Amino acid sequence: MKNIEKTSSRRKFMVMGASSAAVLFGGAALSSSAHAVKTLKPALTNENAITHINIDEMKTDQLLKIGDTVHTLGYHHAGDEGDNIYQIVANNMHSDDGGSYIHLTKTGLTAKAIFSDGIIRAEQFGIIGVNNANETNLADANTLAMTQAHQTGRVIHYGAKYYHFLTLTIAAGGIIGQGDKTVLMSADHSAKNIITYQGLAKTAFKSDNNTDGTFKNFLLTVNDNVNKEGGAGLKLAANTTKNNYNAQLSQLSIKNIPTSIYVNNEVSYCIKDCFIADYTSVGILIENNSNIMNEHHNTITYNTLITKQPFAKGIAYQGGYTNISHNKISGGEIGIEISPAYVPVVAIISKNTIEQQSLHAIGFKSDIDILGENKSQLIISQNSLNAATISGAAINITPTHYLLTDLSINNNMIRFGGDKNAIAAINIHNSTGFMINHNSINCEQGLGYRGVYIAQNCNSGMLSANNVVLPLNGHTLNLSITTKEV
C-alpha cells in the first residue's frame, strides 16, 4: 500500500509543472531569460510523468519502469539549464554518454533523452558554465562532458557563461553560442589545436537543420595565465574519407591564440563577421598540402583582424578558389599573404581595408611548385591600403617557382611611404598577361620611393590610368619590353 501511495504522489507532483516543483524542492524556477529555447513542451506530460530534481535522483529511482516519462528540473541541480525530458527504455544497445542515454543504477534500465525543443544544450550533458573566468578547476570534467555531447553529431548550444575546458575534437555538428557572453576558455598550454572539427557525417543522430560544420556566436580564448606554445583556436581538418564538407563560421570572436582559424583547403568554407585579435602567427590560415583543387565558392568576408605582433599575418592563403572581401586587417607583418602550394590561385581580393603592416599589405610568393596545369587567376581590386610605414611594397607580387598568369590590379587606393628598398607601391615580378589600371597611389609627400615597378621577367602586361602623387623617384619604372603603358 505504501508503494502505491508513493507512486500516486509522484504522479500528482508532476502535474504541478516544472517551475512549481522547483520551488517546492527549494530550487530555482526555470528561467526563460537566459535560454528561451529550453522551455519544455507540455505535450509530453501524461499520467506516467514523473519529476526529479536532477539526474542523480532519476538514476536512483527504484520505481521507474519501461514506458515512463521523466522530467528533470536540471542536470546537477534544479534550474541549471540542464533540464530535460526522458523516456525510460530497456538497457540494450546504447552506452551511457551522460546526456542522450543515461543508465539507471537501481533498475538497470536506460533513460533516453528527448530534447523536446529540438536542440541540445551543453548543460544537458552536465557541462558546467560559470559566471567568471577563474574557475579553471572545471576544465577536466567539462572536457569529458563536452566530448560526449559532441559525439552526438549535433550542433550543441552554449549559454551566456564561461565554459572552461582543455581541447576538443568534434566529428560533426558544431557550436552555437549567445555572442561574446558565451566564452569557451581553454586552459591548454601546449601546441595542440583547441577545437578540431573533422566533418565526419555518420553519427548516432541525424544532423540538425544546419550546414554541417556550424560555429557561430561565441568567444574562444585562453586563460589569462596561459602562454600557449602554438596551435590553432579552431581547425577545420580535411575529412580522412575525402568526402569533405561545408563549414560555416560566423560571428565568432577569437583572441590570444597563435593561429586563430586554420582551414584545410579541401574543406568548403565561409568565414564571415568574425573578430580575431592578438594572434601571434596567423589570423586565418587556408592551408593546402595536396594537389586537390578546391573548386567550391569559398568566402572570407566582413571579418576584423587586429594584432600588434610584428611577424604575424592576417590572412595566409595557399591556393584554390576563394573570395576575400570587405575585411579589415590591422597590424602584423603582412595583411594578406598569398603563397600557393601544389595548386594554383583563383582568388578575388577586393574591398578590404588593410593598414599598419611592417612589410606588405598584400604579398604574393611561391616557394612550392604547382602540380599540374597552372590556371591561376588573381584579382586585387578596390582595396584601401594604408602602407605609410611599411618596409616593402604595398602590393608585392614576386612568384619564383612558376609564372603568374591572369593578374589584375585595379582601382585600389594606396597610401605608400616605402623607401628605395621597397622599390615601389606596386611591385610586379615573373607575371604574364596582367593589367594594372586605375590605381590611386599617394606617396606620402615624397617619402614613397615609386608608384609602380614592372620587372624585366614580366610579359604581356598593360598599365593604364594609374595616378601617382608625389613619388620620390618617379611614377612608373617598366623594365618589361612586352608590357605597354597606355
pLDDT at 402: 79
Residue 448 has pLDDT above 70, yes or no: yes
pLDDT, mean of residues 193-213: 66
Average pLDDT over the chain, rounded to whole? 86
Cell digits of residue 454: 614592372
Radius of gyration for the chain, computed over Cα atoms and rounded to the nearest angstrom: 28
Confidence of residue 291 (pLDDT cuts 50, 70, 90): low
pLDDT, mean of residues 136-161: 96
Greatest Cα pair distance, the chain, in angstroms, is 105
Burial call 101-140: b when 16+ CB within 10 Å, e when fewer: bbbbeebebbbebbbbbebbbbbbbbbbbeeeeeebebbe
Residue 340 has pLDDT above 50, yes or no: yes
pLDDT above 90 covers what percent of the chain? Answer: 68
> What are the structural domains of the chain?
2-119 (no CATH), 315-486 (2.160.20)
Confidence of residue 10 (pLDDT cuts 50, 70, 90): very low
Q: Specify the range with the lowest mean pLDDT, choosing from 102-106, 130-134, 155-159, 210-214.
A: 210-214
Spatial separation of the C-alpha atoms in residues 316 and 360, rounded to whole Å: 13
Residue 359 has pLDDT above 70, yes or no: yes
Per the CB < 8 A criterion, the answer to whether 383 and 349 are in contact is yes
Q: What is the pLDDT of residues 360-383, one digit of tens each?
A: 999 999 877 776 666 789 999 999
Q: What is the pLDDT of residues 229-252, one digit of tens each?
A: 899 999 998 876 656 788 999 999
pLDDT at 373: 60
Q: What pairs with residue 164 in β-bridges? A: 185
The pTM score is 0.88
Q: What is the pLDDT of residues 305-338, one digit of tens each?
A: 999 999 999 999 998 889 999 999 999 999 999 9
Cell digits of residue 130: 560559470
Residue 288 has pLDDT above 80, yes or no: yes
Q: C-alpha distances in angstroms, 91 versus 1, 103, 106, 124, 178? A: 29, 7, 12, 20, 36
